[in-house]
Each structure stands twice: as structure tokens, then as C-alpha cells.
Structure 1
């Protein structure tokens, strides 16, 4: 798994190709040495923005770029020789899960609003390789705001350097087996914390994530029919509240790990669900996680409190950042950056953008 997700075309080696699936991980030994940077804490946090697809021509180009097979292969380590993964045809189960049922990781088959408001976020790195993360439509004034992880949008570096940002961003709510059940939405503009800029003291994205800044926001363009995204998908609640140890949390994502998953459990074809009590990371106490067997591609996925399995609705309180390899704790734990003041600042900026 990659040490740094947002590497440029000039310094990405084969192991770093795993970054194309949108994960943020590093070795436990390195993680043990990381603490929230005092330089980060001292620097005033602001919003760093970047334009996406503004013209109709650019929106049409991106929509055409993301064909079914290109979406299926996004995040492949060597897409030129990787076979297109088979569809996941796990049967749907309309029966809701009982409330607060622990789940270490399984295909979500129970429908509800989460099947519409959560989706797969596709992008292209500056070296031309495609990747994917997970993102969520949230309640907002402009009905066009989507939340994900910052490392799904860019790597640490000067925001004026175009190769620090990902390109061809495209959100497919309810993605399933290479299809766009609700259509696809190009991204008009995006934002991350200023701590992802030329980081103080030479800190990297791992340091910034451990310090609690791995949140990104997107403003989606309207659909081809002129509808705002939340009018198509619905939206989840969002809150910026302190975490509570033992609070029951549901997490969702589109993991895709062809290298470490020889049985093909994670192909990115279907949305995976986890649920359990949240705990802070022993090596990264600002990150909170629950038992969850997910991998690359789940980054940016929602962590919900107050989730109702019957309706598929909850309150977004965090986005997947990493696993126990960075944050410590039990094996197969998915840790979230909890939404706090910095994320609130990003959200307030995004929901005021016109579309």
C-alpha cells in the first residue's frame, strides 16, 4: 500500500502505482514516529480551491471519457495488462439489517438512500493513470456539495502546480458493475485545507492526515438534464461534532485491491459496508475507526452516526483516510478523518458556490 497518495508523474514508482486507487497508508514503523505537527497547528488554516470542468465542452469530454470499461479498470496497478474485473452479482436483500449490527465488511445489498447518495469518485493522475475513491452527497444550500478525502483530490504541494491536482474528476452515485444508475457528474470546482499546500517544515500528506486535515469538498455540475445532483440522488445529513468513544458507526466505500486480494473480493464493482463501535487510533488519536475489512478505493467514503439501515440515511461525521497501518490498533480497522472546524470551513465554502 502506498506511503504517499499524491505523487507526481516524475516520482511515482511501481509500488506507488497503488496510489491510483486512492488510499493513504504507510508503514507502522513510520506511523509510530508521526504526531500532529506543531507547525501545522500553528499555521492558520484556510481554503485552497481549484477549478474543474467549467465549460460544456469540458463536461462532455469527461462524461465520454469514463466508459464502462475505463471505470471498471480505474485503480488497476497496470491497466494496460489488467483484465476487466467480472461483475459482482451478489443478490440484493430488501430486508433491512437490525440496528447496530456489527459488520466487518460485506457487499451492501439492502438498498435505501445510501445506494443513491454515495458513489464512486473517478479521477486521472498527472501521469495519465486513472484512480478512484468514494464520496457522498450531503445536504447543502446549493444542493451540489459532495464530500470526500483531500488525498483523493490532490497531493501535498503548491496549489498552483497543476500536477498536484487530479484531473477528469467524475462522480458516479450508486455506481454498480460499470454502470451509471443515476448518471455521472463532472466536478465544477473543489477545495482542500491549505495544509495540503506547500506543507510547513517539509511535512508530507501522511503528517497532514494524522493532524486531521484529510477532508476535501467538491461542487458537482448539473446533470445533462440540468438538475442539481441532490435533486437526483437525495443527500445525507452532515455534522461537525466531537467523536465519542464506542459510538456505533457505519462506513461505506468502493474498495479495489487486485494485488492484495487474490480472491477478487474487492474489485470496485459494488459498495461495501462496515459497522461497529468507533475508537481513536493509538498512533493517530485524531483519526477514529471501527472494525472494517476495506482497502484502496474506499478512501473518502462516509462514516455515519445515527444510521438507519431501513432507510439508508445517517449523519456524515467523517471520511475514510487510512487503516491500522498508519493509525495503529487492531488489524482490519478503517480510520476516518472526523469532520471538525477545518471541514466545516470547506463545507461552508462549497455550499455557497453557484452551479
Structure 2
């Protein structure tokens, strides 16, 4: 049966024509869609002033089964999902500036990840792609919210994008903050804050009518809620990144940002955190931002782009998420607030008082 709504297409980088992909090995969505994102962003985004669309109710995935997700993710599956057999890295357009960084700007995050707020709230997001029938991973982070139960990632990490509706959601999504897959599961630093199955995820309403639109820079943002047994995730990891919105009608750059995540290409295993520091510059589209001193790699998709203020020693704001190797998705006022509002409304039931004990 020729049902195009259930087929997944890539775009040929030279011709722009749709073609059926080969049988993909287990690779990161950042790798196999970076070219598509570049083509689609250029095709669909205007270069002048951007009128903010009217916000509609976001698209929300079905509710997941917590126990089913926990049963699915065995240590073996988690280990294999983090290893990408075909992946790519970007190339910085300026010399890297990360202290101790390699040729594309990455440096390993000092251990233990739980020692620093920006790294303990960043983790690996595991998922199963039901169309390709493969497991994979992205990066994600805990964000400050009224419900204290939300994480932030890229839309292409939670949806298996097709050219026609309906949205095809990834399954068995699970977030593991401060994950260190280089250690055995019996080690307390392997998953120091436990594993958090996702309740449901939220992406922009534009994906309901045209799923491919979620590959545009401005819409490649997703918010997810998590189940909790030990309390809201913000309380357990002792923090969250503060969302920092910016308007494409008045785009701004930041003197310094830091990306944290789980790259899985070349020398990167996908099992450990790396970070890259960079200045920023305006992108080819008003909704994006570029990091000239970082060449980001597969597996870092959805990871936070954090505003750095070394004078204050305070890395709490997240201004964008990793979209692909050369352009990152800003948190836009016509995208992010609607996602956060719907997620908060569905995750505030029985909210306990915030803890008063000091954080590490």
C-alpha cells in the first residue's frame, strides 16, 4: 500500500528532491536531518522582518506509560542507543576558544556532572523511532517552570518527521540527567538523579498540518513533562535553566554562550558530556543563531545553548537549543510560551512546596 503519510523522506542536498532514504543504521537525528534542516530553512523562512504568528494550542503527544518505558530501557539498550554508527560533525568558522577544547571546540565536562548546575540539569534523552524501528538519543535540559516538571529539547528529537499529517511521535522517551554512560549501571554516578520517563511532549501547532515545518529553525523546539516519584525534577536536580526569549524582529547576539550535550561522532562516544564555548552571530535566518567557534556533532541535538556570564559565575539562562551543526533554534515568543503554558497546565496537579534546603 502506497501511503505517503507513513513514509519518511530526506531531501537531496543538491536537487532538493524528495527521495526514500536507505535503511538507516542507528544514527542521531541531528546527523541525518542537518542537510534537510538547511534546505528547508532556506526554502521556508523569509529574510526580512518576521511577523509573529498567532499562537495556537500546541500539538501534544499521547501520554506515555511510565512502567513500559522503564522496562524498555535496559542498560544494554541505553548503551547501544548512545553509539551512533553513522554521524557527522560541523566545522567551526573561527578558531575554537573552549579551554582545553579540541579542533572543533569540544572539551569534556569535568566529573562529576552533579557538581555543577548546568551539567547536572543537562542529560540524555532516549527514544525509540517507530517508523525506522530504531533507538536513538538526543540531549535535553531541565528548565525552570511553574510546575517544576519540564525539560527542553529539539522538536526533531521527539517526532519522526513525515511529509504529511498526522504527526508521528517517537516512543519510550526517557530523560536521564547528568547521565554518565562510561560507568557501569551499578555506579552511583551512572544516573545520579535516576531515570525520568516522559509523560508527554509538546511541539508547535504548525506541525499538525505540516510536520516538515518542525524542521525549520524557528519551530525546532519541544517541551516535555516527566513522571516523578521523588518529587518534581527541578527539586531533585536542584535547579533548572531559565528560558531566555529573543524576538526575530529584533535579533540579538550574546558575547558568550556554552553548549552542553552528548555528541556521538568521530571521537565522541555519546555516553559522556562535552561542552563548547563560543561567541554568537546572527544566522541566515532571523530565528536562528550561529556559534562560530563551535562545530557541533550528532547527538548534541536538543542540548541547551546557555548564556554565559563569567563575572557572575551564573549559567542559568537557556537562549536556544541545538538544531544542527551550524544553526541553533532560538526560544521565540511565538513558539516557546505556548508550549510551556500547556505543559505547565497539565503538570501542576499536587505540586508540593519547593524545598528549602540549600543546593550544592
What TM-score do the two structures reach when normalised by structure 2?
0.73
Partner of 2:224: 218
Residue 196 of structure 2, aligned match among 185, 204, 208: 185
Provide the residue aligned with 1:338 in structure 2: 330
Q: Is the strand fraction higher in 1 or 2?
A: 1
Query: Post-superposition shift, 1:289?
Result: 2.0
Match of 1:118 in 2: 122
Shift of 1:187: 0.8
Alpha-carbon offset, residue 173 of structure 1: 0.3
Q: Distance in 2 between matches of 1:336 and 1:26?
A: 14
Per-residue Cα deviation, 1:228-267 (whole angstroms, up to 9, x for no partner): 111111212222134523531111111112xxx1xxx211
Are residues 1:49 and 2:60 paired? yes
Instruction: Report 1:253-272 matches (<5 A).
Output: 253-257=261-265, 261=266, 265-272=267-274
The match for 2:315 is 313
Q: Tell me which of 153, 164, 174 is aligned to 1:148.
A: 153
Shift in alpha-carbon separation, 1:158–1:29, aligned structure 2, 3 A: closer
Q: What SS class does the counterpart of residue 142 from structure 1 fall into?
A: coil
Kindly report which structure 2 residues correspond to 1:172-211, keeping only aligned pairs within 5 A, or say none: 172-177=176-181, 179-199=190-210, 204-205=212-213, 208-210=215-217
Is 1:300 the counterpart of 2:302? The answer is yes
Query: Which one of 1, 14, 37 corresponds to residue 23 of structure 2?
Result: 14
Which has the higher mean CA deviation after the structures are superposed, 15-24 or 124-133? 15-24
- Give me the whole-angstrom Cα distance separating, in 2, the residues matched to 1:340 and 1:28: 18
Mapped partners of 1:271, 1:175: distance in 2: 8
Structure 1 partner of 2:76? 69
Secondary structure at 2:43's aligned position in 1? coil
Does structure 1 conserve the Cα–Cα contact (< 8 Å) formed by 2:148 and 2:235? yes
| Number of residue pairs matched by the alignment | 300
Listed as ranges, the gaps of 5+ residues in structure 2 are 1-8, 12-18, 87-96, 183-189, 350-360
Q: Distance in 2 between matches of 1:159 and 1:307?
A: 43
Aligned partners of 2:207 and 2:213 also within 8 Å: yes
Q: Distance in 2 between matches of 1:37 and 1:276?
A: 26
Which structure 1 segments of 5+ residues have no match?
Answer: 5-9, 80-98, 325-334
Aligned partners of 2:252 and 2:282 also within 8 Å: no
Q: C-alpha displacement at 1:135, in angstroms?
A: 0.7
1:17, 1:270 → 2: CA distance? 18
Instruction: Quote the residue 2:138 is aligned against.
Output: 133
Matched residue, 2:169: 165
1:90 corresponding residue in structure 2 = none
Task: Name the Cα RMSD after superposition.
Answer: 3.4
* Residue 29 to residue 106, structure 1, CA distance change in 2 (3 Å): closer
Deviation at 1:216, TM superposition (A): 0.2
